[in-house]
Amino acid sequence: MSKIKNCRICGGKDFYNVLDMGMNPLVNSLIEKEDLDKQEPVYELLTERCQDCGLVQITNPIDTHTIYRDVDYLYFSSDMPNLKEYFLEYADDIKKRFLKEDDFVVEIGSNDGLMLGMFKFYYKVLGVDPASNTVVRALANGTPTLSDGFSERIAKSIKREFGQAKVIYGNNCIAHIDDIHSLMKGVKELLTDDGVFIVECNYWGGMVDNKNYSLVYHDHFSYFSVQDWCNIGDMYGLNVFDAIVTPAQGGSLRIFMGKNIDATERCQELYKREKETNLNSNEICEKYSDDCNEEALALHNLISKLKKEGATIAGYGAAAKGFSILKLAGIDERHIDYFVDDSPAKQGKYTPVSHIPVISREKAEKILPDYFFITAPNYRSVIVEKEKQLGYKGKFITDKCEII
């Protein structure tokens, strides 16, 4: 890992510190029991704002092979509650607005093919994902997928073998790409003249509004605004013609880009709001940092108090977001007894560095805690409702220090 010298978008060299998360392990690198005695790597995690174009980003990125290939990447779309229903609505919108029968659809960061599979019976499809274990699952489900990162090189190969794509999209994966320009060169190469490039990514505006630091971890290299995507599009002859904030991941930005397409009213309104709130400024970055550290301290104090009073506390979900929350709040094995997670791929493993066990909900039934800390805030209502049905009598703690 080495500090980059230039901004990912504009090449600027002047940065303003935003949020320092200290030294962190990779959030999706759970540990096998036999590896608990081995030394584990930790990496600096610092977000900064480019003083030239305003992009908030990690300026000391980890090589993507370390994140996606050197360890088992344990996020599978099909394991996420309600994600299938969300993708069905999303895919239906794309079909109605942009596609006709036999058009070619490419998904960047297609994971196990959950959303791409919703297109494959009507259109030609291809997924591209760097995590080999998720690709294996996609292939087993009958969804054509390449095991690689999307780039200009890969785009040229796809174009040569399959032709150009009418729709290229990527969900919560573009922020994981270090070389944005290789990505955009690939999109420009592969997209038809009347095609649409759709990105759903973390939204800097939502992170600021919600004091949300759960999305800050090594996998996320960039934290985007509408203005950022306008800047990127201008470099490659694409304009942002639609934009919406969706409920995914606690508030995601969905951007639509094409060639010379008039902007929708909702896109113009969102862009205008960013300007009016001075979103892309050092002042907002400083406020965000202060707000996040204040919330993390309050959470630490609450959980420490409950623990001193003799309460038992477990984490609900071995989620990447939760690990970021707990790390900044200084909450570790001294506070959390175990995590429950419904994903079989995570059960039986341990959290990096803190070595807290991850178990199934069934196994936890005999040792239910006084409190569950909800590690995935965007699934709070799903978790609470599920536990009510299971008869859990304890309480829940949220990242906002609410006790439910």
Question: How is residue 82 written in tokens?
Answer: 């309600």
Decide if 59 is inside a domain.
Answer: no
pLDDT tens for residues 269-314? 999 999 999 999 999 999 999 999 999 999 999 999 999 999 999 9
159-177 residue pLDDT tens: 999 999 999 999 988 998 8
For residue 163, tell me if it sits in a domain: yes
CA distances from 50 to 58, 131, 166 (A): 10, 29, 33
Would 267 be classed as within a structural domain?
Answer: yes
Q: Is residue 42 part of a domain?
A: no
Residues of the chain with pLDDT under 70: 1-4, 63-74
User: In which domain, by residue range, is 125 found?
Assistant: 77-283
In this structure, is residue 22 part of a structural domain? Answer: no
Residue 221 lies in a domain: yes
Q: Is residue 208 part of a domain?
A: yes
| Amino acid code (one letter) for 294 | E
pTM given for the model: 0.89
106 to 80, 103, 249: CA distances (angstroms): 22, 10, 22
Residue-wise burial string across 4-41, b where 16 or more C-beta atoms lie within 10 A, e elsewhere: eeebbbbebeebeebbebeebbbbbbbbeeeeeeeeee
Q: What is the pLDDT of residue 251?
A: 85
**pLDDT for res 357:** 97
What pLDDT score was predicted for residue 69?
47
Q: Number of folded domains in the chain?
A: 1
- Domain assignment of residue 126, yes or no: yes
What is the Cα–Cα distance from 245 to 263, expressed in whole angstroms?
A: 15
Rounded Cα distance, 134 and 69, in Å:
11
Tally of CB atoms within 10 A around 362 = 10
Q: Tell me, what amino acid is at 309? A: E
Distance of alpha carbon 314 from alpha carbon 308, whole angstroms: 15
CA atoms of 140 and 382, how far apart (whole Å): 28
pLDDT of residue 131: 84
Classify burial at 367, counting beta carbons within 10 Å of its beta carbon; exposed 0-12, middle 13-18, buried 19 or more.
Answer: exposed
CATH number at residue 81: 3.40.50.150
Angle at 341 between CA 338 and CA 345, to 5 degrees: 115
| Pair of tokens at residue 1 | 């890992």
